[in-house]
Structure 1
Amino acid sequence: MGAERAGEDVFREFLIAVLLHNEAVADRLGLRPLDVAAVILLEMRGPLPVGAISEELRLPSASATRLVDRLEKAGYARRVRGEHDRRTVTVELVEDGLDDYRALAAGARRHLDEVGARYSPEQAPLLVGMLDGIAAAYRTATAEARDA
């Protein structure tokens, strides 16, 4: 039980560190932590409809709309109407508006690269698989918590 407990504590410390970092980034950018999550999502996936942002972040559509409003007001994102169907609207990042965010992200990446350097290339798939599994577990738990 001792080693098991220690692992659980390490994992909880990891969660706290990620949450606090996201909060610090949000504070520096004048955003909310969920807004930062949306910026990261748009960085990974590219332009998305508000409905897709709502689904990915497990938000009611009205909350996702307000989130996009905040990102637009802060200069991080913009809504773009479809070229062929003007009713289609996607949200995309504003490249010129992301300098502060990218500077903060670069600091985190530098520290994460230092951690990654401790592991061999053969260990990378195991670590990535574990992180992918943890992300899936939390997405499921988030959906359950919001639906409860």
Structure 2
Amino acid sequence: MAHKHPEEAVFREFLIAVLLHNEAVADRLGLQPVDVAAAILLETRGPLPVGTISEELGLPSASTTRLIDRLEKAGYVRRVRGERDRRTVTVELVEGGLDDYDAACESSRRHLDAIALHYGPEQVPLLLDMFTRVAGAYRSATKELRQDET
């Protein structure tokens, strides 16, 4: 069945490409796709409490614990206990921990750099705004889906 809106088909093709790329990167690193998402989250936001990672990824705490175990075992992150309250645990990237990730993304970076040549500097704010809004829309939709599960 064909879509009524061609732009929807384009966007769905974009999503498929991103999802498959993330899965291929995860396979290359011996991780789960959600593990890669967690590592990227830590790279962009810095060290995070376990609860924040759980909330941001929409995972139950037990699943988040297993995810952190996998990343720690693979040498990407470490747990850091709070100095004042030893019960609080923050997760941080290990120095050089994402070197393998960066290497796995080298080809995508090269292809994306080539695309950037098609856009002028005046278009960058619009594109970044769109990505920010799309990410927010998907985060909201994901929260709604997760709430429906409970």
Q: How far does the alpha carbon of each residue in 1:53-78 deviate from its partner, in whole angstroms, 9 at most, with x for none?
A: 01111111111111111111111111
- Offset of residue 98 of structure 1: 2.4
Q: How far does the alpha carbon of each residue in 1:11-56 deviate from its partner, in whole angstroms, 9 at most, with x for none?
A: 0110000000000000000000000000000000011011010111
102-111 or 71-80, larger mean C-alpha shift: 102-111
Across the two proteins, how many residue pairs are aligned to each other? Answer: 147
Q: How far does the alpha carbon of each residue in 1:62-121 deviate from its partner, in whole angstroms, 9 at most, with x for none?
A: 111111111111111110112333222110111233221111233322221211221011
**Distance between the aligned counterparts of 2:92 and 2:106, measured in 1?**
21
Tell me which amino acid in the other structure corresponds to 2:32. Answer: R
**Distance between the aligned counterparts of 1:59 and 1:85, measured in 2?**
24
Secondary structure at 1:75's aligned position in 2? coil
**Distance between the aligned counterparts of 1:93 and 1:36, measured in 2?**
12
Name the counterpart of 2:80. 80
Q: What is the percent sequence identity of the aligned residues?
A: 71
Name the counterpart of 1:28. 28
Secondary structure at 1:78's aligned position in 2? strand
**Distance between the aligned counterparts of 2:89 and 2:42, measured in 1?**
14
**Distance between the aligned counterparts of 1:88 and 1:36, measured in 2?**
23
Task: Say whether residues 1:71 and 2:54 are aligned partners.
Answer: no
70-79 or 84-93, larger mean C-alpha shift: 84-93
Task: Say whether residues 1:17 and 2:14 are aligned partners.
Answer: no
The gaps in structure 2 that reach 5 residues or longer are none
Name the counterpart of 2:49. 49
For the structure 1 residues 113 and 59, does the alpha-carbon distance in structure 2 shift closer, same or farther, using more than 3 Å as the test? same
The gaps in structure 1 that reach 5 residues or longer are none
Secondary structure at 1:59's aligned position in 2? coil
Name the counterpart of 2:92. 92
**Distance between the aligned counterparts of 2:100 and 2:38, measured in 1?**
16
TM-score between both structures, scaled by the size of structure 1: 0.92
Aligned alpha-carbon RMSD (Å) = 1.7
